[in-house]
Amino acid sequence: MTSTQEFARKTALVTGAASGIGLEVARRLAEAGAAVVVADYNEQGAKETAEAIVAAGGKAEAVRVDVTDPESVRAAVDFTFQKFGGLHLAVNNAGIAGASAPTGEYGIEDWQRVIDTNLNGVFYSLRYELPLILASGGGSVVNMSSILGTNGFAGSPAYSAAKHAVVGLTKTAAVEYASRGIRVNAVAPGFIDTPLLSGGDQEKRDYLVSLHPQGRLGTAEEVAELTLFLLSDRASFVNGSYHLVDGGYAAR
């Protein structure tokens, strides 16, 4: 594994790392020297990601996590700290798209499922990560929001509400921990070509492409590039901010 070793002697936890953006972030962190815990509800997918990282010369372990369950999150965070002796970096990436329906017709259980995963899951992660990052001497956190943390989107009231709330949570945690050696930022991908968008028909895909002035969907690699910058010391004065990686979506 060739690397700058920018994150050597650092331990990172990435949720939702069995596929898509999380997988790419985990892979790149390991390539840059971090010991990475790959956390996902899909335990087999997490193991496959960790095995691929190890096969390429990196350090990784897999753990199953249900981010809607605070005890499951606590266990995954504790596992990370105990396995590698610290926790310095966290990427709270796990999320679901949820059902599609107008707000006045949105199912209550559908709403709760999206909020539990996309908002409560980020809070639970921060709740248990931040004390251990403090105990490790400080570090950096990136919460994965979305372009729908800035814009509304018809048929996605729960997703948009959750992702807007993640931005507020990010800013609050950043203010609280800035003087204690922890930076907390959020990344806002546009529509990214990942398994989360798989299975849709071509007409829907073409519509999503049309929303981006660059005329295409983004890639997991492009989101990971920004995420790793924010985690790194290169972003040492970047804190409590919300960064778009959206091909001009929000500029329309």
Active-site residue, selected from the candidate residues 128, 159, 177, 249 = 159
Q: Average pLDDT for residues 15-28, to the nearest whole number?
A: 97
| More reliable by pLDDT, 78 or 196 | 78
The rounded distance, in Å, linking the Cα atoms of 221 and 25 is 8
User: Mean pLDDT of all residues in the chain?
Assistant: 95
| In-domain check, residue 251 | no
Q: Is 124 a residue whose pLDDT tops 50?
A: yes
pTM of the model: 0.95
Contact 194, 21 (CB under 8 A): yes
What is the model's pLDDT at position 116?
A: 98
Show the tokens assigned to 78.
């504790």
Which of 99-113, 157-171, 185-199, 206-220 shows the lowest mean pLDDT across its residues? 185-199
Provide the CATH number for the domain around residue 69.
3.40.50.720
- Residue 2 lies inside a defined structural domain of this protein: no
Any domain includes 146: yes
Of 50, 234, 11, the C-alpha closest to 138 is 11
Does any domain span residue 204?
Answer: yes
Of 207 and 196, more confident: 207
- For 231, left (φ over 0), alpha (ψ -120 to 50), or beta? alpha
- Site of tokens 């050696």: 181
Rounded Cα gap, residues 236 and 169, in angstroms: 20
Q: Which two tokens stand for residue 93?
A: 């990436």
Name the 3-class secondary structure at 208.
helix
Residue 151 scores a pLDDT above 80: yes
Residue 64: phi and psi, rounded to 5, are -80, 135
In the chain, how many domains are there?
A: 1
- Using a pLDDT cut of 70, give the percent of the chain over it: 97
pLDDT of residue 199: 61
Q: In which domain, by residue range, is 164 found?
A: 11-244
d(CA 66, CA 124): 10
| pLDDT reading at 125 higher than 50 | yes
Question: What is the predicted pLDDT for the residue at 200?
Answer: 63
Residue 249 a catalytic site member: no
Residue 115 lies in a domain: yes
pLDDT > 80? residue 84: yes
pLDDT confidence of 196, banded at 50, 70, 90? low
DSSP symbol at 118: I
**pLDDT category, 186, cuts 50, 70, 90?**
very high
Task: Answer yes or no: is 1 within a domain.
Answer: no
Residue 4 confidence (pLDDT): 80
Residue 249 lies in a domain: no
pLDDT band, very low/low/confident/very high, at 252 (cuts 50, 70, 90): confident
Q: For the residues 16-37, what does the mean pLDDT come to?
A: 97
Q: In which residue are the tokens 């709270």 written?
A: 92
Mean pLDDT value across residues 81-95: 97
Asked whether residue 250 is domain-assigned, the answer is no
